[in-house]
Every structure is written in structure tokens, then in C-alpha cells.
Chains A and B, each alone.
Chain A
Amino acid sequence: MTAGMPAGLPDPMLPTPWRIRRVRRDTRDTFTLDLEPVNAGDGLQFLPGQFNMLYVFGAGEVPISMSGDPLKSGVMTHTVRAVGVVTKAMSRLKRGDVIGVRGPFGVSWPVEKAAGKDVVVVAGGIGLAPLRPVIYHILARREKYGRIALLYGARAPGDILYQSELEKWRGRFDLQVEVTVDNVPTGQDWRGHVGVVTTLVGGAEFDPARAVAMICGPEVMMRFTVIELQKRGIAKESIFISMERNMKCAVGFCGHCLFGPTFICKDGPVFRFDLVGPWLSKREI
């Protein structure tokens, strides 16, 4: 049995067919797929932060994090950015098309360990997708957590994911939501923050002594975010990041995603920062 695999899955290397129930165009290059199993009984449960290998027949397979609500059974949601051959082929699929799914794989965000604490969620770009299940998880058990801050940075206003959901969350009194963009096209009306996501850390409401931080985004953005969080006083042991590397088998067989002594697919993608941080500065890996 492979670590991270739920009992009952016969072969982690064998994709099962899932049908596209709905396609949503989130931004100019990002879309969200709702999938349902073709065969009854193939439904999957997942934890926030885990990923599936999605197989576009004739194009290839890519690792994509779940971006939906872990409590919703019968549907698996993935948000995908069309940047490579496979994801571009995936972007052309329509409702009713079938893709292969292997998973779920990997280590989840520490949502259970964070119970009773403040939680700071910092996302950059498509990095909001793997963190959205964390927000769903927390909001479903809101009384179990302290203060919650969601800090999100995108390239430009048109690149902001899940805009209506962010607006809804911003309206809650028990959730601090701050969104910033790196650039605003000339003439565009934008009343929100402008600047990199790290500039939001200073204004986030949390107690550093009892806070857990979860970060997902480009590696350079995560490195700088960690610096800002540490300036606020959060210990390295309380900071978690989600890593991305070239994952192929997703179960630690092939070694493509080996990162120092760990496999991103099997030991991650979520890591405690103090355990993986030293390897981030090694330029050779």
C-alpha cells in the first residue's frame, strides 16, 4: 500500500474514468472542472492539499490539486491553468468528456493540527486553488479555530480566482480576506490593494505565538512570504508550504520529483517549512 492512498484502491497506477460534469472559465487561462465518476463506487474522498493525476487521453497526465469542498461527495473539483501541452488539451474538453483520474495522493495541509489556533493562509496566483479546500474545511468547523486571515495575491485584477466567493468571504465577520494585485492596467478601476502579497502580512490579524501559516504559490513568493511571517514572529515549525516539482508516478516509484531526501509526491506536496526550507536554497536541486 502506498503512503497517502486510501484503502480499497486496487492499483495507484491505474486511472479510473471520470466524466466532466461542469466547466467554469475562471480567468483568461484558468478553468475549473467538476468531475463525477463514470463507474458507481469510484467516488473519492480527499483531504485539503492532496492532488490527483489527471489523464487527458492522447495528451498525457498532470498532477492537479483538488480545489473543491472536501465535504462534497460525488464530485471532484480541480482548477487548472492552461500552460503546458496537457493542460491546454484539458482546457479544450467539454461537459460530458471523460478523463482518467488517479489519486488522491500526497500529504494534506495540517487542518486538524491547526484546530484551536489562528490560521494565516497566504496564496499567490493559482496557489489559491489548493488552499480553497482549507477555507472550506475551516468554515465548516469555524468554532474550532481562532482568527483566520486569507491573504491572496494575483498578477492583475482579471487574474483573480474565485472572485464571487472571495467577495462572499470578505463579507463575513469571522474571516479576514485581503486581496492584492501586482499590476493594474492603466485606466482600469481597481479599489483594492496594489503590491506583492508579502505586503499584506503586516496587516494580517493573528497571534504569532498561536498561529499556523499555510502558503501556496510560486516558490520565490513563498520564500519571501516566510521571511515576512517570521518577522511577525511565527515560528518556522508553524509554517507550511506546498511544493511543486515534476511529478510523474505520484507514489514515489520514479524519482522525478525527488527534492533533497524527500519525494514531493509522497512526502509532500505540503511540508513543514523547517523540514524543507534548507533545500530551497540549494540551487542544484
Chain B
Amino acid sequence: METLEPLLTEHPFFRGLAPGDIQFLTGCARNARFDAGQVIFREGQDADQFYLVRDGKVALEVFTPGRGSAPILTLGAGDVLGWSWLIPPYKWRFDARAIETTRALALDGKCLRGKCDEDPRLGYELLKRIAAIITERLHATRLQMLDVYGAHN
């Protein structure tokens, strides 16, 4: 039977991880597909999964009552969608919506947390990878906040 192992190995988030570790994590993964316009999750919902985007495009959005939604970041192939599964209270802070047909690997956050508790070495490795993504996003957000194309620049 074909498993998700090769797809997990291919994704940049898991690149370089030992085959044994990938095998250990495969049980937490499943394939996911979202049509253009489909909501993947909404702010306030339980963050019980996270997604490794294989192709397509996803927008992270913030909803303002009376004004509607505004995208704050788009993610594409090779990106990771969501880290709220890792940090209490495990709730999404933004909305996520596919803006193109998107294929992803969905990983069960609770299952993954269980595996990380079971194997702290692997847990530390995953945490380092997540921390690197958070750092990159933070840098990009800071740059975004500078409004570098504003009239004062």
C-alpha cells in the first residue's frame, strides 16, 4: 500500500529528517485538498491540525466586522500553514482560505504533540523547524509594518 512517507519526505519542512522519524510521524498525516474559495479554518476554532502545502495558494485573513476580510499573507507550495496546534490554548488566530485549488498534507496536531512527548529529541527537532518558520514570518511582518513603499521612504 502506498503511504504518505514519500510526500512527507519531499516537503521542505521535513527535509533532512531521519527516515525513522518520518515513518514515526506518518501515522499523524493525511492528504487534504481544498477548492478555490474553500475555508480551511476560522479564527477561534480548535487548532487541531496543521498543513504542509504541496501546491496551490492559501490566504491567511483577518475579519473585521462591518468591513469584511483582508488577507495578511499568502502561502504556497513548500510552506507551512499554522502553528497554533503547538501552543495553548490551541485555537486559530486567523482565518485561512484556499484562493486556488490547494493540495496539502494535514497533520493531526494532538497526535503530533503526543509523538513529540514520547520522543523529546524529535520534538526538539520539530520545534526548531517551527521556530525557524516563526522567525522568518516575524521578520517579514516587521518589514511589512515598516511600510517601505510609503511616501516617507
Contact = CB atoms under 8 A, between A and B. Distances in A.
A58 interface: no
Interface size range on A against B: 20 to 34
A189 B114 CA distance: 41
Given A184-B71, A196-B140, A221 B77 contact: no
Interface stretch (B25-33, B83-91, B143-151): B143-151
A71 interface: no
Interface string B21-39: 0000000000000000000
A195 B142 CA distance: 11
Contact of A203 (B68, B71, B77): B77
A112 interface: no
Contacts of B18: none
10 contacts: A124-B149, A182-B144, A184-B70, A187-B70, A191-B100, A194-B73, A195-B140, A218-B148, A218-B153, A224-B143
Contacts of B144: 182-183, 195-196
A124 to B, nearest CB: 6
Given A193-B74, A194-B71, A202-B78, A182 B149 contact: yes
B68 A182 contact: no
B89 to A, nearest CB: 27
Interface residues of B, number: 27
A194 B151 contact: no
A190 interface: yes
Nearest to B146: A220
A155 B140 contact: no
Contacts of A193: 57, 74, 76
A275 B146 CA distance: 27
A191 B110 CA distance: 33
A220 B148 contact: yes
A281 interface: no
B143 A198 contact: yes
Given A194-B74, A196-B144, 14 more contacts: A29-B151, A125-B149, A184-B70, A187-B70, A190-B71, A191-B99, A191-B100, A194-B71, A194-B72, A195-B74, A195-B144, A198-B143, A220-B148, A224-B143
Contact of B149 (A154, A184, A192, A198): A154
A155 B73 contact: no
A217 interface: yes
Contacts of B74: 180, 192-195
- State the 8 A-B residue pairs at the shortest beta-carbon distance, nearest first: A125-B149, A155-B149, A186-B67, A218-B148, A186-B70, A187-B68, A194-B71, A194-B74
Nearest to B71: A194
Contacts of B149: 124-126, 153-155, 159, 182, 217-218
Nearest to B99: A191
Nearest to A227: B139
A85 interface: no
Given A191-B99, A203-B77, A221-B143, A155 B150 contact: yes
